[in-house]
Amino acid sequence: MVSWDNPPISSDDESMKSQPPMTMECTEWIILALNHVAHCEHRAPCEELLAFESTDSGRRFLGCAKKDVPKCNYVEWIDPEWPIPLKQALARIWTMYEEEVTMRLIHDVVKVEEVCKVLKDKRKMENDLRFFKVNFAKMVADVCLNYVGISPKRKG
């Protein structure tokens, strides 16, 4: 993810072309790009996609349209690169989003740890209760036997 303090890296660099961006469904753009001459590494017509996540959010690009095999890394941008201020704003928004997701995950982990501790305490209390019930039953049996005049030691 691009840092707020650093200027964004051009998405048209060769390094960015090695991995296609995440996409989101947009029926307005997702069609077979038959009006474009681009073909992916599978030699098939490309699909128009809409970038989602990163500083390229909202940009259209051509990418692999294969559904039954792993997609290749072909990317050809249709829309021009966003202006620097917009890319910086998008970078900041995505950073804020990632920080929020991280905080929620940390909160969820803390809650799971609390639930595990409560379950452990519950199991211990259930075992203690079973032990108490057994001891109580033995004590009641001994009192009853003493009441009828049979010593618990002479049972057998």
pLDDT band at 7 (very low <50, low <70, confident <90, very high): very low
Q: Do 70 and 104 share a domain, yes or no?
A: no
CB atoms within 10 A of CB 94: 16
Separation of alpha carbons 104 and 83, rounded Å: 32
Q: Cβ(77)–Cβ(13) under 8 Å? A: no
Q: Do 106 and 72 share a domain, yes or no?
A: no
Q: Do 42 and 89 share a domain, yes or no?
A: no
Three-state DSSP class for residue 62: strand
Q: Do 65 and 88 share a domain, yes or no?
A: no
Report yes or no on 7 lying in a domain: no
Report yes or no on 50 lying in a domain: yes
Total domains present in the chain: 2
Residue 14 clears pLDDT 90, i.e. is over it: no
Report yes or no on 2 lying in a domain: no
Three-state DSSP class for residue 143: helix
List % helix, strand, coil for the chain (3-state, nearest 5).
45, 10, 45
Query: How many degrees, rounded to 5, is the angle at CA 6 between CA 99 and CA 103?
Result: 5
Q: Do 46 and 103 share a domain, yes or no?
A: no
Report yes or no on 111 lying in a domain: yes
Separation of alpha carbons 131 and 52, rounded Å: 59
Q: What is the pLDDT of residues 42-101, one digit of tens each?
A: 777 788 888 888 888 888 888 888 777 777 888 888 889 999 999 999 999 999 999 999
Report yes or no on 4 lying in a domain: no
Report yes or no on 74 lying in a domain: yes
Q: Domain of 98?
A: 83-149
